[in-house]
Amino acid sequence: GQNIDQPTEMTATEGAIVQINCTYQTSGFNGLFWYQQHAGEAPTFLSYNVLDGLEEKGRFSSFLSRSKGYSYLLLKELQMKDSASYLCAPLQNGYALNFGKGTSLLVTP
């Protein structure tokens, strides 16, 4: 089974830094993905963590603590185009991505 918890909505200012947290309980855990989804569009891959620690990729970083069932996505130098939903997705048994309901991020001027 799986249980994923993310904040429903967040608001941040252009140029700022925002951290989106995700806690999960997933059997057969094989890593955690973060996807970005603009309204009505396909999810796009942002990051994948399989080991504990921080993975940095440009303005986006993702952190994983497997023992705590916790991950976060850090977005720096926010831009208006970063307004989207951010989906935390633990990988279960190597196959299925179990998506949370996502965090809707609004970036304001």
Partner 1 sequence: DSGVTQTPKHLITATGQRVTLRCSPRSGDLSVYWYQQSLDQGLQFLIQYYNGEERAKGNILERFSAQQFPDLHSELNLSSLELGDSALYFCASSPRDTTNIQYFGAGTRLSVL
The one segment of 14-22, 55-63, 66-74, 93-101 that binds partner 1 by CB under 8 A:
93-101
Q: Name the residue type at position 29.
A: F
Nearer to partner 1, 2 or 83 (CB): 2
**Strand, coil or helix: what is 54?**
strand
CA trace torsion 4, 79, 19, 36 (10° rounding): 20
Nearer to partner 1, 47 or 61 (CB): 47
Based on the shown chain and the rule CB under 8 A, indicate whether residue 38 belongs to the binding site for partner 1: no
The answer to whether the CB of 108 falls within 8 A of the CB of 14 is yes
Selected from 75, 84, 91, 105, the binder of partner 1 by CB under 8 A is: 91
Query: Under rule CB under 8 A, which residues in 14-33 are in contact with partner 1?
Result: 30-31, 33
The answer to whether the CB of 93 falls within 8 A of the CB of 28 is yes
Residue 48: burial class (beta carbons within 10 Å; 0-12, 13-18, 19+): middle
Nearer to partner 1, 6 or 61 (CB): 6
- Taking the complex as a whole, how short is the minimal distance between the CB of residue 77 and partner 1, in angstroms? 24
Q: Which residues bind partner 1 (CB under 8 A)?
A: 30-31, 33, 40-45, 48, 50, 87, 91, 93-102
